[in-house]
Structure formats: C-alpha cells, structure tokens
Chain A
Amino acid sequence: MLKLYNTELSSRVLLGTAQYPSPAILMDAIKASGTEIVTVSLRREMAGGKSGDKFWSLIRSLGTHVLPNTAGCHTVKEAVLTAQMARDVFATDWIKLEVIGNHDTLQPDVFALVEAARILSDDGFKVFPYTTDDLIVAGRLLEAGCEVLMPWCAPIGSALGPLNMHALRSLRGNFPDVPMIIDAGLGRPSHAATVMELGFDAILLNTAVAKAGDPVAMAGAFAKAVDAGHEAFHAGMLEPRDVAVPSTPVIGRAVFT
C-alpha cells in the first residue's frame, strides 16, 4: 500500500488531466490506468475567475482523489495564492506545489519552492512539491514540512525518461522512508519501470498518456510497467555482472579458466 499523508492508495500511478483529445478519452484513460489521484491545474483552466464546472464534475464523477496543482506560478506569492484558491475550489488541503523558474525548461525555482512549501505547510496544507533530483533541496523541503516529494527525472513533457540515474539512486538511498513520486519527464512505460525498479513509490503522468496515439491503451501500458517495476524492486533484482553465468551447468568445458 502506498501511503501519502495518511491516505492509503493501491495504485501507484497519478494522472494529469490536461491535453487529452476529449474528456471522454481522459475518463477512459483514468479508468485504464487504475489511478486513484488525478491532478488538476487551477490556473490553466481559469478564465474570468471561473473554472469549467462541467469539466470538473465529469472528473469528480469517477470518485478519484483530486490533487490540485499550482502550474504556471512563477513566484512564492502566486503559488501560495493559487494553493489557497484551489483549497476552496476543490475542498482539499492537498496541493501539488509548482514554482517555475524558467519558461522554457519549466524547471522548478527550488529556492522559491522551499519558501512556498514552508508557508503552505504552516498553513495546514499537505504539500506535494514538484522538485528537481537535488538531494539538498529534498532535505530542505522535508524540513519545511513536506512529507512527500515529487522529483523530476527529466523536464516536463520532454519524454526523455530518467536522465540522471545517479541522482535518483542517491535521492532514494538518502530518504528511504519518504514517499517519492517521479513527477515529470517520463515518455514510455520502460521509463516508468526503470524508476520503479529504483524503488520510487509512484509516478505522475500526463503528456506521455494524453498525447499518445491511443491514450487509453497507453494508460494501461504504464499501469502494467509501474506494477512490474515495483514488484521487481521488492523481488530483489540481479546485479549486472561482467562475465556470463550459465543458468544450466556447462558440462565438459573448463569454465574456470
């Protein structure tokens, strides 16, 4: 069981709700992924101070947890304000905190992120911070009150998959008991399996599913990869060796030469 801020979940996939061909396909993808948490962007879908009630009610009808995010926020003040609005709109104290530092790379501004995380945690929010794979920042976020971390493995929407295996291993190794969700940069199911094999607790997907040729089939494929990676991590994998080791004895040959 995955436990995020005292909420127990059986699925290890979180799904973003943007960019799908239609809400109907989004809803089918949610079902196919088995996800129990969907993220929603308050700012992106706001116009004139009013969000799309009918779109949300469709998503809510599936009964998943809603994790609002602060996508598009560039300062501490904006992010805090957006989080407070999201708490009212979605009636949840969960917030996926994003404070973007660069328009192009959508890289988190980790300094502002830590500050905003502290303010929101003090205000009673359960903060899910979107962060880089930096170990020191991770430590600061935990000190600020976060009990879950959401490190990237590559830039948002890039589909590059895990770029820095060393950093990810080190993050997992240093904070073995903190639930960590790989948030951004996954492109294909093998990427998801790879990070789950490293021992991460869950993944968050959006573009890789929404922009796939068949989003519903891709959601299912990711769900299987996540399960496979997670089970493999607990099953204890073989470490790579430099020599071949036959699985059946090689009779009649001098193998120890």
Chain B
Amino acid sequence: MNVLVKGAGVAGLSVADELTSRGARVTVLDPQPGGRAAASWFAGGMLAPYCERESAEQAVVELGLGAADWWEAALPGSVTRNGTLVLAPIRDVRELERFGSRTSEFEWANEDTVATLEPDLAGRFRKGLFFKDEAHLDPRRVLISLAAKLAEAGVAFETDPVRTMTAGFDWTVQCTGYSRKDQTIRGVRGEMLILRTADISLARPVRLVHPRFPIYVVPRADHTFMVGATMIESDSAGPITVRSMMELLNAAYSLHPAFGEAEIVETGVGIRPAYPDNLPRVVREGNTISINGLYRHGFLLAPAMAMLVADVVLKERRATR
C-alpha cells in the first residue's frame, strides 16, 4: 500500500506514523518542511480533553481520551502526565465554579493543594481545579522527533508538489489545514508568546480563567514558557497585536509577577482550521481522504483522526492502538 500524505503538521505526521506502523509505504509532501508553517508549530500541546469540554462538545473529549497514550506509544518519553491546574484570581473565583460546572474529572484544589502541586504559586491562589488525568507535550519537539523517526523508518519527505504526482499512489491523505480556497472552512487566528525566565518554574500547564478566551501557561524546557492563545475570527497571519500581547502578558503576570522579568523570546501567530461546528471532519472522495477542522485541538485529536484514516486505507478496524 503506497500512500501520499499532504501536509507535515500534526495531522499529516500522525497519519504518516499510524500508517507506517501498520506497514504502509508513506510519502509526506509539504512545501515548507520542518513543520514551521503549520498551525501546530504554535500549539500549546496540552492533552486536556476534560478542560476542553468547557467550550468544546463532548465529541472532542471522547476523541481526545486516547491521545496521551497514542503519543507516548509513538514517541516514548514525549508525554508528561501530571495534570492541568485551572486557577482564577480571587476576584474571578466564581468563574471557576462556572468552569467546574461544564467539566468533569477534576478535584477542587485549595491553597495548600496549589502550593503542593506548584510550589512557586504558593500563597497566590486560594482555589483551583485540578484535572489530574490530563497530560501535555512539547509540540515542536514532537513534530521534529516524529519527522526524524519517520525518515528513519523509510518515509520519504518531498517538498516539490509538481514532482510528487499523486498518480503513483494508492491513496492520498490531505492534511493541509486552513485554506482560503475552501469555503466551508474558516481560519481562527491564535496568537502566542514564548517567555524565558529562571525565576519561576511550573510542573504542568496552568490555565487562567478569562472571560473571552482560555489563557494558559505551559512550561517547556530551558526555562521557557508558552503563553497562549487568543481566538480571533480572522485568517490574517500578520504579527501579534498590541491588545493580544497585553492580554497574554497580563495573564502571565497575574499568574506570577516573576514573569515581569522574563524575556519575550518569541511571538507567534497560527491559523487554526475550523468548520462551523468547530469539530473535525474526515471526508473520503474516491481514493482521497481529507482530515481538517482540528481547530485548537490538533495534538488532542490528531491520533484519533490518524487511526480512522489508517482503518479506511488499510480496511482494518482498530478502536485503540
């Protein structure tokens, strides 16, 4: 079985990995290799199905439940399973109740629990929600290591769409994300920052309840932190705006004033592909399968989508890996 996967973002690479591990021959085509053009390059990398339920439908939870296991199997050691902490400033504690009423599989955390989980946040928050079964990964490391693993397993990476004709393949899997040409899909702009400071450390993603979009701070290697992400109904990929920058910085600063001394290492903008219901779709037309609309759940939903695609391509039925 010879399969062409178009797109080397999280969806494309997950499909390539799932197919390769089940014995298919895969070629990955992306004019911009390395994943840097993909929305997933700017992702938070949270595998947080329960938290996402706050604004997403139940389907996202169900499709995302197996994600952490899938990623750990695909890239051993890439997944950190120590939960998500959801916090609110004292003034907005009622927002936590609202968050809790929408979600499940959490425990209320008091000041002591917060201090035990995240010693650097001791004394700063009186109440929080702890989703102990959630996990996270570093999207950029994962995209790079997955591409390297696939290359080693014999997957060809092509950049030239003219040279890579679809004719020689049994199947084509389209994982190209947002496109202006496709009228059914829209772009939702997400802006993020990467900060660096050695003055504070966090063990796990921390979400701050926010009236308009969920702001989160995810710890990464080398004293860096990813702060994201806005959700703006626009497909403009232009630089981050002052307003968004202020909101993200404000969130980090209110989490801990030590972020005031952090360096702003990077600002980034990604365009998330989304259908009107913000749910993903797998569409088959002949021997072409398209995955799209992963919205802000790329790393959470890509494994389930990849397994579905592999089932179709290889005429198998595997609920779990």
Measured CB to CB, the residues of A under 8 A from B are 18-19, 21-25, 27, 44-55, 58, 72, 157, 211, 213
Contact = CB atoms under 8 A, between A and B. Distances in A.
B233 A21 contact: no
B183 interface: yes
B57 A45 contact: no
Contacts of A213: 101-102
A53 B235 CA distance: 8
Given A48-B234, A55-B233, 10 more contacts: A19-B212, A22-B57, A22-B274, A22-B277, A24-B275, A25-B277, A45-B232, A50-B234, A58-B186, A213-B102
B235 A52 contact: yes
Interface stretch (B8-16, B168-176, B236-244, B312-320): B236-244
A198 B274 CA distance: 43
B276 A23 contact: yes
A55 B187 CA distance: 9
B56 A47 contact: no
Contacts of B243: 72
B278 interface: yes
Contacts of B237: 48
Nearest to A58: B276
Given A21-B278, A22-B278, A47 B234 contact: yes
A52 B55 contact: no
Residue among A45, A54, A58, A211 having the largest count of chain B Cβ atoms under 10 Å: A54
A211 B278 contact: no
Contact of B239 (A48, A50, A54, A157): A48
Contacts of B101: 213
B256 interface: no
Contacts of B55: 21
A51 B238 CA distance: 12
Nearest to A157: B211
A51 B188 CA distance: 11
Contacts of A211: 98
20 contacts: A18-B212, A19-B211, A21-B55, A21-B57, A23-B277, A24-B276, A24-B278, A27-B276, A45-B232, A46-B234, A47-B236, A48-B237, A48-B239, A52-B186, A52-B188, A52-B232, A52-B233, A52-B234, A54-B235, A213-B101
B297 interface: no
Interface string B106-128: 00000000000000000000000
Nearest to B241: A47
A47 B189 contact: yes
A203 to B, nearest CB: 20
Nearest to A207: B211
A157 B212 CA distance: 11
Interface string B21-41: 000000000000000000000
Nearest to B243: A72
B82 to A, nearest CB: 28
A23 B184 CA distance: 12
A54 B187 contact: yes
B126 to A, nearest CB: 20
Given A21-B56, A157-B211, A211-B98, A51 B278 contact: no
Contacts of A54: 183, 185-187, 235
A22 B52 CA distance: 13
B211 A50 contact: no
A23 B186 CA distance: 10
Nearest to B232: A47
Nearest to A22: B278
A47 B274 CA distance: 17
A51 B187 CA distance: 11
Contacts of A51: 233-234
Residue among B55, B102, B234 having the largest count of chain A Cβ atoms under 10 Å: B234
Residue among A23, A72, A211, A213 having the largest count of chain B Cβ atoms under 10 Å: A23
Contacts of A55: 186, 233
A27 B278 CA distance: 13
Nearest to B183: A54
A47 B245 CA distance: 12
| Nearest 5 interchain pairs by C-beta | A48-B238, A52-B233, A54-B186, A22-B278, A24-B277
A213 B103 CA distance: 11
Contacts of B189: 47
A27 B238 CA distance: 28
Interface string B60-103: 00000000000000000000000000000000000000100110
Nearest to B279: A22
A104 to B, nearest CB: 9
